[in-house]
Amino acid sequence: MRTALNSPFSPGSDSIPEVWAGRTAQLSDWRDVVRPRRIAGLPERGRTILGEAGLGKSTLVRRIARDAAAAGDWTTQQLRVPSGADPLKIVATAILKLADQAGLPTSRERRIKDALSRVQAVAASGISLSLRQQEGPEPYTVLTALLVEVGRAAIARGDVMVLIHVDEVQNITDENALSQLLIALGDALVHEEEITAPGGVRVLRSLPIAVYLTGLPDFADMAGSRTGATFARRFKTTLLEAIADDDLVSALQPFIIEGWPVPDDLGGITRVHMEPTSVAAIVELCCGEPFLFQLAGEQAWYAGSTDVITRAQVLVGWKAARAEAATHVERILDRLPKRERDFVQAMAERPAQERTLTRIAQDMGFAKATDAGPTSQRLDSVRGIIERGKPYTFRHRAVEAYLTSDWPSVD
């Protein structure tokens, strides 16, 4: 009954899992703010979704893009930027596909043909030295020009959005490439088109274009230091945190109430249920991490073949997953600079009520609490691992569990 072919859990694949948990604020932001405002011609910033690995950044925007495509919008695929790759080539190729979707290649207008030919050159050569030495505008300006044309086509179509998703943006380490990409996308977002409103009045409106950037928290420093206030004005940044336990319970509630539908051996449909204690075990083990939630659910699914997932099966499945869970958290800790790693280690070794900046700084060997202040600020506002308060607390619950308990081991 329960097999690898019918599991509704999908850990770490960037695919949209069937069992979806949380992120209602971000989904609502797209549905109730970004899309309606841009469709109406009102200005709205792009969105930057950042967070540590495993928090579901890419999956979240893939879910938004899927919903957008279902509504008839024009969307790019997930444009993942590998380390060392030219982001302008990747984005230019995607924009050409959008232009084809908008019917621009068949246009007889000279400006569109010129924009298409120049973007095709960018898609082939990127921002290489040879391209920059050619006559004509810089690559970012031709990307912007074609995006504007695609936006105009969306206006003409009516009630259609253009959605662009660039992933792994922290891998864009070339300052020139990052600057050109952000300016190209930002210029398209702030472009205003003159149209004729009812009554013959000429007015300006924004293009129906939305841009989502996803990546690790490091990108906030990269973009801020290289583009300054321009980036902050044109993109709104969200730092993802762990999913609340109530949202995880709600995601698993269908297993308790009506059961999860799967094909039976007779060509019909049967249902897999969970005991309430099974749901509680999965929620406790995953510490609010979307990746660990999917991993715990998947392994519980594989731990038996009956129509009921028991707590014992959840624990058996987790034992098979705990090495991967530990590696997941270790990878997050290994990415931290030494001072930040030392800070969270010192914080974890203190009892919860004694986690103050003064005592943590003393444990780190600093003479003054202010010496550890910038480190605590980065761990809070940039990385989302701790929360400064009285006392300090962990926002990243899996990191806390790893450093302060036997987790991910279970009896």
Predicted confidence at residue 266, as pLDDT, reads 78
Residue 358 CA to its chain's centroid (Å): 35
What is the rounded CA–CA span in Å between residue 335 and residue 397?
A: 17
Answer whether residue 375 is part of any domain.
yes
Of 332, 364, 382, the one marking the end of a domain is 332
Q: Are the beta carbons of 379 and 344 closer than 8 angstroms?
A: yes
Pair (253, 149) in one structural domain: no
Instruction: Give per-residue pLDDT as tens, 110-123.
Output: 788 888 888 888 88
Residue 57 counted as domain residue: yes
The per-residue pLDDT for 1 is: 82
pLDDT at site 130:
43
Q: For residue 52, is it within any domain?
A: yes
Which of 332, 349, 384 represents a domain boundary (last residue)?
332
Q: Is residue 409 part of a domain?
A: no
Q: Say whether both 90 and 157 belong to one domain.
A: yes
Residues 60, 174, single domain; the answer is yes
Distance CA 37, CA 210 (A): 10
| pLDDT score at 13 | 72
Residue 123's pLDDT is what? 80
Report how far residue 206's alpha carbon sits from residue 39's, in angstroms, rounded to the nearest whole number. 9
Rg (CA), the chain: 24
**Are 80 and 179 contained in the same domain?**
yes
Residue segments in the chain with a per-residue pLDDT below the cut of 50: 129-133
pLDDT digits (tens, 9 = 90+) for 181-195: 999 999 999 999 988
Structural domains of the chain, count? 3
Q: Are 202 and 286 found together in one domain?
A: no
Q: Which of 196, 220, 239 is the last residue of a domain?
A: 239
pLDDT confidence of residue 135: 57
Do residue 207 and residue 219 come from a single domain?
A: yes
Q: Which two tokens stand for residue 383?
A: 């990385």
Residue 8 falls inside a structural domain:
no
Same domain, 280 and 367: no
The CATH number assigned to the domain holding 99 equals: 3.40.50.300
**Distance of CA 325 to CAs 251, 291, 408, 409, Å?**
21, 9, 7, 10
Nearest to 212 by CA among 171, 153, 267, 164: 164
* Residue 293: inside a domain: yes
- Same-domain pairing of 249 and 344: no
Residues 328 and 343 both lie in one domain: no
Residue 255 and residue 226 share a domain: no
Q: What pLDDT, on a 0 to 100 scale, did the predictor assign at position 127?
A: 64
Residue 213: inside a domain, yes or no?
Answer: yes
Q: Are residues 52 and 74 in the same domain?
A: yes
| Domain assignment of residue 355, yes or no | yes
Distance CA 296, CA 298 (A): 6
Structural domain boundaries enclosing 192: 24-239
Provide the β-strand partners of residue 80. 167
User: What's the CA gap between 373 and 178, in Å, rounded?
Assistant: 30
> Is residue 53 located within the same domain as residue 37?
yes
75: helix, strand or coil:
strand
